[in-house]
Amino acid sequence: MKININLSNEPFRRDRPWVVATAALSTVLLCTLGILTYAAVMGRDEDSEARQEVEKARRQFDVLTAERNRLNLVLTRSENAEVIERSVFLNQLLLRKGISWTRIFSDLEKVLPYNVRLIQIRPQITPNNEVYLEMVVGAQSTEPVIDMMMKLERAPEFGATHWANWLPPSQTEPLYRYRISVNYAQKL
């Protein structure tokens, strides 16, 4: 029989694996701390560069804003008002001139049935620089006009169609008259 006698004040403990694991974990954490510190220093330098770029862009914006305000003051003088009005008028004329009537009639020819007559057409330009057509068409009955509206909505050149109103035949006008509005995909 073997008797284990421990004569020390404290019993024997096996702490070596815990000490080694703690030392390894401390080494890993210390390396991670070094990497994070390096990343923070590099990030601070990058942030500093980004702040400098933002400040440079802000200064350029301020210079351009001051120039715009100075030019607006020149343009809003009473002696320049006539020139500005004429310029706006000419720009609107040029924009309207950009609408191709040949292309409008060519595209309408594809969707207009033979028994529907185009009485009036008025293109308009929306604030988004899109063309909007207001048309008055005539037909002997409603079916050809409905067929035309369905063809307009299916055609890639045209968009949503709106039927505004209609007039029955009269003594002077033997056709039913319909006012139709449609979006037109012609680019200016």
Domain CATH code at residue 115? 3.30.70.2830
Main-chain dihedrals φ then ψ at residue 34, nearest 5 degrees: -65, -45
User: Per the domain annotation, does 90 fall within a domain?
Assistant: no
Asked if 41 and 108 sit in the same domain, the reply is no
Asked if 103 and 180 sit in the same domain, the reply is yes
Asked if 71 and 135 sit in the same domain, the reply is no
Range of the domain at 163: 99-184
Residue after which a domain boundary falls, among 76, 108, 129 = 76
Asked if 180 and 110 sit in the same domain, the reply is yes
How many structural domains is the chain composed of?
A: 2
* Each residue's pLDDT expressed in tens, for the chain with a length of 188 residues: 677 766 666 666 677 888 899 999 999 999 999 999 998 888 887 888 888 899 999 999 999 999 999 988 887 888 877 888 888 888 777 766 777 888 888 889 988 999 999 999 998 887 777 888 999 999 998 899 889 989 888 888 888 888 888 888 888 888 899 999 998 887 65
User: Per the domain annotation, does 91 fall within a domain?
Assistant: no
Q: Beta-carbon neighbour count of residue 113 at 10 Å?
A: 13
